[in-house]
Structure 1
Amino acid sequence: MAAETARQRLAPLAEEDTLSLGERAYRRLRESIVQGMLPAGRKISERSIATELGISAQPVREALRRLEQDGMVVTLPRRGTVVAEVGPAQLGELGRIRAALEGVACALAAERIDADSLASLAVILKRMTAGTEAGDTEALDEANEEFHALIHRATGNLFLIRSLGSLRAYDHLGRHRAIGSTPRDLPKALAEHRGIVAALRRHDPALAEARMRHHILRSLVTNGVLPPPPRPMRRP
């Protein structure tokens, strides 16, 4: 009971939002898990969550089914639905999977991306440059989300888009728990994003995949989700 009163209540969903109630409930619950408002092991009541969000139980039920598919909640005997425990080892494994899928997505995007999408990426890069120079991590996070989402859309592959959307939640969870980047890491990330866009402009799938995969793995190491790769042994 004390844990219930200590937890922040979920903000009601706004009626003017254009997404479906199920989608909005899914995103709100996923964000609450990532931010720690709904900690691991916490039991989730459909009825209480629906009351807090100001909606009926059906969209909440739909959201919980999706979260269970994502592995963020589990249904246990005699306990019901609880928030899943995602440890460092699992975050690392999921990070490697995401790096591979992001690479595949970038390769497909290099084959299919059009001039309008490339122009939009150029605009995002300008925002990233400004955010890097100002050290504005909030603006950089927003631009980074748009950057990857645009590349995902350029693939035209709905399965890949949905799979990466689910894995992004674990990326946020890892970053929320991680040590985090320092200002010195920001120019490195900007250079990597520029390199990815250059490969997309050349419509070079192999180069785009390699650069994207390197970028994701490097960011996971920077954020402490993955250990640094072993240094090559020097020959005597």
Structure 2
Amino acid sequence: MSSAVEPFAETETLSLGERAYRRLRDSIVQGTLSAGSRISERSLASALGISAQPVREALRRLEQDGLVVTLPRRGTIVAEFGLERLAELGRIRAALEGVAAALAAERMTGEDLASLGEVVRGMRAATAAADTEALAELNERFHAILQGATGNMFLVRSLEALRAYDDLGRLRAIGSAPKDMPKALREHVSILAALRARDPVLSEARMRAHVLRSLTTNGVLSAPRKRPA
């Protein structure tokens, strides 16, 4: 267990509970804490170099997110990520991301739009260089700016609760299908265009289609069948 997570750096400024939550969430997403493995509160506290209380708080949040489960006589274990479950949560995320885009189209400031434009320019460069790590960071920033512009904290928190599943899907999509990078770039460009046009209906439709397409790319959703003519 101690080798699965790294201790905190002294320069980190978030609360211990928040830091523990993010570190454990990332370890689960990246697979260093594998599905089905048992989690020891004491061992985690020792590995992170903190007391048990913030670890307990982090595990409670992870259980609310569905990333860990507590079972009789087995204790706390990392949840299994079946495709059916990921597909359900992916559809929920697609709907919420679409709503966020619609609200952002109505509420974004010029500064917000300028920031998104800068992110998209970075995406162009990262796509040309096939820099998957930079693309993952820029993709996260794009969605964070858009969601923050909604001013709706309930929506932002709801999407934050799906963050780990979101990260897992993005990592699979970006890492396993580099040929789809140009397509993802075009989708972000089209979403930005709809936001600049202040068109909530188009922004929602394009964002939702983008999220669902990414889920298809990483194998969470099956590709839609073409209807016979």
Query: What is the TM-score when the length of structure 1 is the normalising length?
Result: 0.92
Distance (Å, rounded) in 2 between the aligned partners of 1:89 and 1:192: 25
Q: Contact 1:180–1:223 at 8 Å: present in 2 too?
A: no
Distance (Å, rounded) in 1 between the aligned partners of 2:127 and 2:173: 20
1:44 and 2:39 matched: yes
- Tell me which of 83, 89, 93 is aligned to 2:88: 93
Q: Contact 2:105–2:203 at 8 Å: present in 1 too?
A: yes
- Tell me which of 133, 156, 159 is aligned to 2:154: 159
Q: Aligned letter for 1:117?
A: D
Structure 2, unaligned runs of 5 or more: none
Task: Specify the alignment match of 1:12 in structure 2.
Answer: 7
What's the offset of the Cα at 1:117? 0.7
Task: Specify the alignment match of 1:34 in structure 2.
Answer: 29
Distance (Å, rounded) in 2 between the aligned partners of 1:179 and 1:118: 24
Distance (Å, rounded) in 2 between the aligned partners of 1:136 and 1:69: 34
Task: Specify the alignment match of 1:228 in structure 2.
Answer: 223
Cα pair distance change 1:136/1:221, threshold 3 Å = same
What's the offset of the Cα at 1:184? 2.6
Distance (Å, rounded) in 2 between the aligned partners of 1:127 and 1:107: 24
Q: Contact 1:32–1:38 at 8 Å: present in 2 too?
A: yes
Q: After TM superposition, where is structure 1 displaced by more than 4 Å over at least 4 residues in a row?
A: 175-181
1:103 and 2:90 matched: no
- Tell me which of 195, 200, 214 is aligned to 2:195: 200
Distance (Å, rounded) in 2 between the aligned partners of 1:192 and 1:179: 14
SS at match of 2:221: coil
1:143 and 2:135 matched: no
Percent sequence identity over aligned pairs = 68
Residues 135-184 of structure 1: CA distance to partner in whole angstroms, max 9, x if unpaired? 11111111001000111101111111111122121122345566954333
Residues 169-212 of structure 1: CA distance to partner in whole angstroms, max 9, x if unpaired? 11223455669543331111111101111111111111100000
Cα pair distance change 1:125/1:176, threshold 3 Å = closer
Distance (Å, rounded) in 2 between the aligned partners of 1:111 and 1:42: 45
Task: Specify the alignment match of 1:219 in structure 2.
Answer: 214
Structure 1, unaligned runs of 5 or more: none
Kindly tell me the number of residue pairs found equivalent between the two proteins. Answer: 229
